[in-house]
Amino acid sequence: MLAYIIVIYSICGIYMLLNFKRDIQMLQQNSYRISRYYKWLENGDLWSAWRLTDVALLFLVFSTLLDAPASAFVVALTALIKICLILRRKSKKPLVFTRRVWRIYCLTAILGVGAFLTTAICVPRVSTGLYNPIAITLGVLLLISIFSWAIVIIAVWLLKPVEETINRKYYDEAANILRSMPDLKVIGITGSYGKTSTKHYLHRILSEKYDVLMTPGSYNTPMGVIRTIREMMKPYNQVFICEMGAKQKGDVKEICDLVHLDAGIITAVGPMHLETFKTIENVQSTKFELADAIPADGLIVINNDFEACASRMVSNTKALRYGVSCPDGCDYRATDIVYTPQGTSFAVVSSDGFRLELITRLVGESNIANLLGAVVMAIYMKVPAERIRYAVAAIEQVEHRLNIKQTPGGVTIIDDAFNSNPIGSRMAVDVLAHFKGGKRIIVTPGMIELGSKQYELNRDLGTYIGKNVDIAIIVGEYNREALEKGIRSTDFDTANLHIVDSFAASQQLLAQMLRRGDTVLYENDLPDTFR
């Protein structure tokens, strides 16, 4: 009997620990911000079928339907099945076991195991009935699994003083490194979209003349920037390109206060992260925290294609403005743009008569705009024109950002899966529309974090899709209604409109319909926090 109980408790204990891991994974995807994490819980996970199953088991344990050993067996069997499901589940963004994650995980485990052991030691030793020790201890394990999210939040709250102390130590170390390099030129890049691509393009061009370090991947938070400086900065670096993300006011300023900018680029101001920003005016003021932080002898480069950029005046430093679709009032313009299957040719023209002819493998207006911003900064940094021309011709597309590939079967893939926004999504559809000879197919779950405009903007995207593609595959439930309504408002053949529950299901569907010459656009790939 003892061995039986140990096996039951072990299975349930493993299940509890795996639930902690899943919840911490979602916490990480929500940037460790409790408010965002709880909003995700409220949007469906708080009372999901996954947790309700454990609620049903809890009632079974304390019911008279089965005796304690039989109830324990049912609980353990269910937990074992769910363990197998967890282990087989493939996440789009797996949990990254950083030191912070280990601290949170260890503390949640201590709290969970501690609650179980306390119950096992203190429970009255009654052999039968509702108060059977097996029922009580199993009930505690189930309660912990049901409310695993709450224990994770408690752990984060308890660790807050520790994290603040550690972060301050890392902050001071990064600040000291920067102070030891007075000749280092720091260029900040922010924007509602386009900042990562612009960062990569600028890094490639400036590397023709300087030793350049950039923040890798999406290391665009204060701690990401600090980590880059502490772990990657070398004494011989001449330029530091610092990408700055923001989801609320003050985020950009926080990074600027650390790195002390010499110059910067604002790539866009648009309706992104409206769930936290609420208004486009808040987005604008946050992005322009970068411009406000640049000294009088520095430079801010601004994309005037966005009205919220063009309308914001800058008086504290020199400003150069660029544009592709709305070049009026710009210091630099992209003209004579010609798209080909091999890429794009265009000219950079300045208001004072400067002209630079360029050829790039990149396609799409958004990419040309991002490249133009990088070129303007490179000119300011005195990179010779011939070196700019050479670097631009050699630039590879950033992964998952309008990246075009050919399959062995002759199908063209346009990978724009990293992100989706109202401007970029339309431009991606425009790129898809340029491909002729086969079916033009879009696979998308729509756009996220658009606040009160979520439905409207996804419906508008659906309308644009309906007018420009041949086959539309909508993935998931999150924006399904809005996208479908927009598509159906056009003369789109609804026989070519497909609704699937997952990305895997879309791949199965594509495998049946794709033929040589077809083109597929993957527009956005929502993380696990969205369904």
What is the tens place of the pLDDT at every residue in 77-119?
999 999 999 888 877 678 889 889 999 999 999 999 998 888 8
| Residue 529 forms part of a structural domain | no
Together in a domain, 70 and 185? no
CATH of the domain at 357: 3.40.1190.10
For residue 444, give Cα distances in angstroms to 216, 364, 448: 26, 18, 11
Together in a domain, 321 and 452? no
Q: What is the pLDDT of residue 126?
A: 47
CB crowding 370-393: b at 16 or more within 10 Å, else e: bbbbbbbbbbebebebeebbebbe
Together in a domain, 93 and 199? no
Q: What is the pLDDT of residue 373?
A: 97
More confident residue, 132 or 140: 140
125, pLDDT greater than 70: no
| Residue 168 forms part of a structural domain | no
Confidence class for position 341, pLDDT limits 50, 70, 90: low
Q: Which of 313, 206, 202, 329 is nearest to 321 (CA)?
A: 329
The 3-state secondary structure of 131-174 reads CCHHHHHHHHHHHHHHCHHHHHHHHHHHHHHHHHHHHHHHHHHH
Pairing between β-strand 332-340 and β-strand 318-323 as defined by DSSP bridges: parallel
Together in a domain, 364 and 215? yes
Is 315 in contact with 278 (CB distance < 8 Å)?
no
Together in a domain, 472 and 335? no
How many domains are there within the chain?
Answer: 3
Together in a domain, 40 and 80? yes
The number of beta carbons lying within 10 Å of the beta carbon of residue 447 is 27
| Residue 174 forms part of a structural domain | no
Q: What is the pLDDT of residue 270?
A: 85
267, pLDDT greater than 90: yes
Q: Rounded CA gap, 73 and 78, in Å?
A: 9
Together in a domain, 211 and 347? yes
Average pLDDT over residues 123-150: 75
Average pLDDT over residues 140-166: 93
Domain extent, residue 20, equals: 2-159
Together in a domain, 383 and 407? no
Rg from Cα positions in the chain: 27
Q: Which residue bears the tokens 């769910």?
A: 82
Together in a domain, 218 and 339? yes
Q: State the pTM of this model.
A: 0.81
Q: Rounded CA gap, 276 and 36, in Å?
A: 9
Together in a domain, 24 and 145? yes
Together in a domain, 221 and 273? yes
Together in a domain, 353 and 419? no
